[in-house]
Amino acid sequence: MQRLVEDLLVLARHDADASVSTDAVDLDDIVLREVQHASERTAATIDAGGVSAAQVHGDARQLERLARNLLENAVRHTRARIEVTLSARDGVATLEVHDDGPGIPLADQSRVFERFTRLDDARGRNSGGAGLGLAIVRDLLARAGGTVAITAGESPWRTRAELR
């Protein structure tokens, strides 16, 4: 319940406040720290060997939330392995979180970023969230001029976030 209230407060603040922090932030440090935290909460292997240096402009706390939400979602749906990559090219940082879970049907791949969207297999009380984590990711990125999408890859579930 506390997590739901916190998520709702984050969304309400985003809706009410149009300001965006422009501090220089080492996104790789944030991602690696969140990978460490996620590794402590799962038996799955999390491979962060593809994380390279990437500096972006934004709010460090919001970027932590972005990385945490992507990783928590992957942990919730993975079978055994998660791969995290981060790269920077031409002023764009690209963060990808890939898990080996069952994937998302093509028809639902954009819908999972809407508020309160939960797919049928994620509805368990103990394992499913409130349907706000990926909506928060999308809102955080949109406010910073970035994007998030499910992309085709080696498995059906690869979340790709891009941030300038």
pLDDT in tens, 144-161: 788 888 775 445 456 777
At 94 the three-state DSSP class reads strand
Positions in the chain whose pLDDT score sits under 70: 1-21, 109, 115-131, 152-158
**Contact by Cβ (8 Å): 83, 136:** no
**For residues 142 and 100, what is the distance between their CA atoms, to the nearest angstrom?**
27
pLDDT of the residue at 4:
47
Backbone angles phi, psi at 139, to 5 degrees: -65, -45
pLDDT of the residue at 21:
65
Strands 147-150 and 81-89: unpaired
